[in-house]
Amino acid sequence: MPSFVELAGGVRLTRSKKADCYYTTTSRDCSCPARAYNPGVACKHMKTVQAAMDNESIRPKLPAFRSFSELPSEERRAAGAA
């Protein structure tokens, strides 16, 4: 039995530790007992799906970029100097 099965729409069937059943898992919810006992906390299955989704991004991980634009007074000075 595979440890997980990918389905459409970001849904994954995750095999239980005892390998006797599968849990339906997304990045927002899971059918495992840990999630049922702690509804406000992400279970390890959800964290695994979230990590997989983050790794699938084609964009490189870059720090936040703040664009630069000159203030109107600086633009006027640059135009007057030219």
> Which distant-in-sequence residues (6+ apart) come within 8 Å of 70 by Cβ?
78
Of 71, 38, 54, nearest to 30 by C-alpha is: 38
What is the residue extent of each domain of the chain? 4-55
pLDDT in tens, the chain (82 residues): 788 888 888 889 999 989 899 999 998 999 999 999 998 899 999 998 888 877 665 555 556 656 666 666 665 566 665 5
Q: Where are the alpha helices (DSSP H) in 1-82?
A: 33-37, 44-55, 72-81
Pseudo-torsion of CA 63, 41, 9, 57, nearest 10°? Answer: 20
Has this prediction a pTM greater than 0.95? Answer: no
pLDDT at 72: 63
